[in-house]
Structure 1
Amino acid sequence: MPKPKDPDTPPERRKWVGPVGNDAPVLGAAAFARAGFSDPTLVLHWEKIAGPEVARLARPLRLSQGAHGGVLTLMAEPAAAVFLSHETRALAERINGYLGRPAVARLKFVQMALTQPEKPPPIAKPAPDIAPDDPVRSYTGPEGLREALMRLARARHSQTR
């Protein structure tokens, strides 16, 4: 008789490939737990909690329980750590208000250069058609130059729309 599966333990591997999505919740929860976040809400909704300006300058790194309550360690840009240290009380109140419980009593800053998340590339618009009477259609010179003239005509046509 097979044992019932425990949702908190990763599945056994038996030399076969399975969907990654089956393991993701367990492995993600384990990664958050190692950093002290029993509830990943703080990390996943950080920009909404802290605001866009603070989220650009600092990110949550670890949440630990101290003698006087939770201590949230934030990675902060070196120049911003001093600025943010003056905003600790307001930021802790916003965090606790969002979570609905007094989870953070103190903030600690670790100065580290943050990499900004890359913005997705803009979606390319389809190239507009070139008018049938456009002079570029009758060009008979080298192919490379013809393609460059076609791109120029498309760009010119898209600006007039």
Structure 2
Amino acid sequence: MRGFEPAGKLLRQRVRAAGESRGFAVSRLLTHWSEVVGEEIAAQTRPVKIGYSKGGFGATLTLLTTGAAAPMMQMQLPQIREKVNACYGYNAISRISLTQTAPIGFAEGQAQFTPAPKAAPKAPDPQVIAAAARTAEGCKDAGLKSALETLAQNVLTRSAERAAQKKG
């Protein structure tokens, strides 16, 4: 081992292998899709594969989109093609094919392109807040006291959740 390594460096080979199996010679197209084509287009499309013709130049990029967004994406195909070719650095993509899917379906056909928003954290129990305040009561430093209260709230909340799980 050479010590600590960035996670991206550890995953680079696996992402490259998965991308190359779908025809993506440049894995950046998959990993940075929203940066390549823009947030609006990335929210409605996802690259699925790149198909190369046997003797010709240029490849066909297949994009997955919902049926409702397909007409708008069809009109933007020239701009998408320019942006993707800019990512490759040369005119690699000569054609883009749209594949429409329903909003629900099996693995590849699912149309959820953006991650679901994170749930808002629950407000802590007032009894837990009071117990945490009593725990950090003797501390004089305001920053340390706040950190201790937060730590105590986390510990007390987790222990209460574990106790509830054991009962249920």
Cα deviation digits, residues 115-159 of structure 1 (max 9, x gap)? 1312334466778867xxxxxxxxxxxxxxxxxxxxxxxxxxxxx
Which residue of the other structure, out of 34, 40, 47, is the alignment partner of 1:53? Answer: 40
Q: 1:126 to 1:100 in 2, by over 3 A?
A: farther
Which residue does the alignment assign to 2:118?
120
The number of residue pairs the alignment matches comes to: 110
> Unpaired runs of 5+ in structure 2?
1-6, 104-110, 131-168
Question: How far apart in 2 are the matches of 1:44 and 1:23?
Answer: 15
Which residue does the alignment assign to 2:73?
84
- Aligned to 2:48, what secondary structure does the other structure show? strand
> What's the TM-score once normalised by structure 2's chain length?
0.55
User: Larger % of helix: which?
Assistant: 2
- Aligned to 1:27, what secondary structure does the other structure show? helix
Which residue of the other structure, out of 100, 111, 118, is the alignment partner of 1:111? Answer: 100
What is the aligned-residue RMSD (CA, Å)?
2.7
> Unpaired runs of 5+ in structure 1?
1-20, 131-161
> What's the TM-score once normalised by structure 1's chain length?
0.58
Whichever of the two has the greater Rg, that structure is 1
Q: 1:97 to 1:27 in 2, by over 3 A?
A: closer
Q: Is the contact between residue 15 and residue 27 of structure 2 (CA under 8 Å) also seen in structure 1?
A: no
Question: How far apart in 2 are the matches of 1:58 and 1:35?
Answer: 16
